[in-house]
Amino acid sequence: MSQDRWIALCHHCSDPRYVEDTDKYKDLRRLLEDQSEEGLTLVSQHRRRSREVVVERIFVETKRRADELEHILCRDRYPATSIHGDRTQAEREEALRDFKMGARPILVATDVAARGLDISHVNHVINYDLPHNIDDYVHRIGRTGRVGNLGTATSFVNESGRPILRDLWALLEENEQEVPELVHVPHARCYII
């Protein structure tokens, strides 16, 4: 893994901040534990077997990263599963069934899961790895807030994500969303957003 600094770009946040590469997973865990608008956390909802489980979809760029992140989340007692192109049809069906039924309300996925899957109850999409183009970004975040429901999208951005930032800013402006201010950080290989 590179030593780039990461940035948490929260479209709903007023406090975007640096996330060191080595702390990226820790910040993801913090996101998973944060209180939802209803005042319940993902983990507490799952443990109580509530019907209103917050479901998360985490997008990554590689199949290997999907497997690694699923393993680490499960090790840390987060009910996660993953889906990507190297999974058998039976494995993909099992992962989707577990996700849809709430048995594993965290789905780590590559872009294979960004298109064509209609899952209406996704509350939060996390771009752990930012996609390479704005169309993939739109398809990813389009997995949340479906059928008139509200949803949240959070993205981690580093230097490799800079090529789509201009398109992202235009998309946010077009949809009358707050556009985070770019602030140059000396000696960093990225910007705070």
pLDDT number for residue 163? 80
Which DSSP category does 159 fall into?
G
> How far out from the chain centre does Cα 24 lie?
12
Question: Domain 5-192 is classified in which CATH homologous superfamily?
Answer: P-loop containing nucleotide triphosphate hydrolases (3.40.50.300)
What are the b/e assignments for 5-21, b being 16+ CB within 10 Å?
bbbbbbbeeeebeebee
Domain boundaries, the chain: 5-192
pLDDT number for residue 35? 38
pLDDT < 70 regions, the chain: 1-21, 35-54, 113-115, 145-148, 159, 181-193
pLDDT number for residue 146? 66
- CB-CB neighbours of 94 under 10 Å: 15
pLDDT number for residue 9? 52
* Residue 109: closest CA among 123, 135, 128: 128
Q: Spell out the long-range contacts of 35-41 with Cβ–Cβ below 8 A and sequence spacing 24 or more.
A: 36/123
Task: Output the CA torsion sign for 89, 125, 30, 18.
Answer: positive
pTM: 0.78
pLDDT number for residue 192? 40
pLDDT number for residue 7? 52
Q: How far apart are CA 155 and CA 10, in angstroms?
A: 6
